[in-house]
Amino acid sequence: MEKVKAVVLAGGSYKDDLDINNKSFIEIGGRWIVEYVVDGLRDSNLVDGISIIGPVDRLKERLQGKVDHFIQEDKDLLVNLQKGLTPFKDQDFVLVVTSDIPMINGQVVTDFVQRCYDQPADLCYPIVDKRVNDKLFPGFTRTYVKLREGTFTGGNILGLNPKVVEDCEDLARKIIDNRKKPWDIGKFLGSKILILLATGKLSISHLEKRFFELLGIKARAIISPYPELANDIDKPEDVELVKYYLKMD
């Protein structure tokens, strides 16, 4: 199986409930959470190159030798994505990972890449069943969407073809700005999607088909058995939960 490149988004361009400039540098067990993410990627036998975008000088303090390309951040998240993909623009498939999912490891990453290869597409996005997340990591508060196949939350990693990013820019901005508001995202996808969502009849295939209609790209929702992909750090209590699950004080 062909190895892939990965982009880590470690900028401080948008806010959440953590009153800090850049959560990439939250320390758990003496390591930044972004270090856990980079190490998780490096531990996968299917990842062989990493770029990271963020405050370069600070990132180099601990990640020199672990990352192939350091890229200075912009204030715009989508611009950061495009800049982070630049070293890998000739690739057909690249992972994009946020810096705030410190519980991932090589096995988690490898499983996702394998599932993407099994269902090839221009855009692969992981979703995790609520029952799986509640069983393995009780305590995390996530945004869930009820689909025909079950109730799911989204992950903080995706696989994509860099060549389609520009075509998806407008819709991507709307989704990013409303990432915690499933109903608002539904509005951008059209009234039919909203009706199906409201009646509990919306399926994964409906969403995949709608993305193709809007953007002309093949999108896949990848059901992952690993909630580590979805449990990011957004709130102070998330830090304590991650410490607990990583068995650290």
Residue 117: pLDDT band (50, 70, 90) is very high
CATH number of the structural domain spanning residue 111: 3.90.550.10
Please state, in angstroms and rounded to a whole number, the distance separating the CA atoms of residues 66 and 68: 7
Domain count, the chain: 1
Helical residues (DSSP H) of the chain, grouped into ranges: 33-42, 56-63, 77-85, 106-118, 130-136, 169-177, 182-189, 191-198, 204-215, 236-245
Domain membership of residue 194 as a residue range: 4-245
- The pLDDT tens digits for 200-222 are 899 999 999 998 988 889 999 99
**Does the pLDDT of residue 249 top 90, yes or no?**
no
So what's the pLDDT on residue 16?
56
- The pLDDT tens digits for 131-144 are 999 999 999 999 99
DSSP symbol at 138: T
* pLDDT, mean of residues 64-80: 94
**Does the pLDDT of residue 46 top 80, yes or no?**
yes
Please state, in angstroms and rounded to a whole number, the distance separating the CA atoms of residues 249 and 131: 27
Specify the higher pLDDT residue, 175 or 124: 124
Please state, in angstroms and rounded to a whole number, the distance separating the CA atoms of residues 157 and 146: 20
